[in-house]
Structure 1
């Protein structure tokens, strides 16, 4: 068992280092680098298949591959695979908000606005109400999917945006303005100092 943990951690560290380094880059990584990270995540899982972090890392690498391939084209298959890996991670670690937020994001890209999407959104907010990464991911979901959301989902996202403004104003604003959704989401936000500043 100790050997399995050690080998899993060896490959898991390589995948984690790669994925985290991509977040700091202004452009998307090369496909070769992405495939190496996916392979490392698979190797880590071959040693420790019940480790939710390795499933999450594989999902995030698959998401980058989908972005490079084009989410409306060849990348869709990788979004489906990423969703499945997020689901595996969620089964193993059901109170991890980042997994639920990322699951909702994959389903939003796939236009799967079903009960599973709604529950993932609720879980992300419930388990990570003050997590910066969750705020950004949910703001992204709201911005790209606003016209497909129910009134309840819009209210959930608006409340999340309001919380996120206190900790990451620029990041939230960037996500919403990229899709020209600021005014629409402002209409669902409770009036307070942050709302007035953001919606002015």
Structure 2
């Protein structure tokens, strides 16, 4: 890649929306896990698009890049699970990924061949901050209204809150600011419902 093309990529994506696996040199499994976690976080943060650099495998045996191939397999899976909306090869060693709306996570189909992403903790609202529970409740009301349920029962509301919590918490990375990211994802999903 020329210096000019690299400069345009830096301008378009910046450091926050670029995952450079080539520089990290992970194994194929590590690359898959890292990329999935990072792409899910980018979706929740509201990135429109991101750049994933895998490398071409020029310094590998037979010019084969196991990291690139693992990402090639991961991207269709993330599209089926409504994490990303699409992807395209940007260069022979990188991909541009566009993200699905956060609300699309609630519609992701269950597939038998793929193991569901494990929730980092059991789906319970007991340990959440009161502000987070209120955001969840508001989002559940919006979601049910879209489905035509304008006066949900308490059980329907709680079920919808748990469903949304499970879907969003599975997309969040582990860390100290996890609940803050959850609140951000809930606000983004509410904005998407209001705009749609």
What TM-score results when the alignment is normalised by the length of structure 1? 0.33
Larger radius of gyration: 2
Q: Normalized per residue, which structure has more strand?
A: 2
Per chain length, whose mean CA-contact separation is higher, i.e. which structure has more relative contact order (CA < 8 Å, sep 6+)?
A: 2
Q: What TM-score do you get using the length of structure 2 for normalisation?
A: 0.33
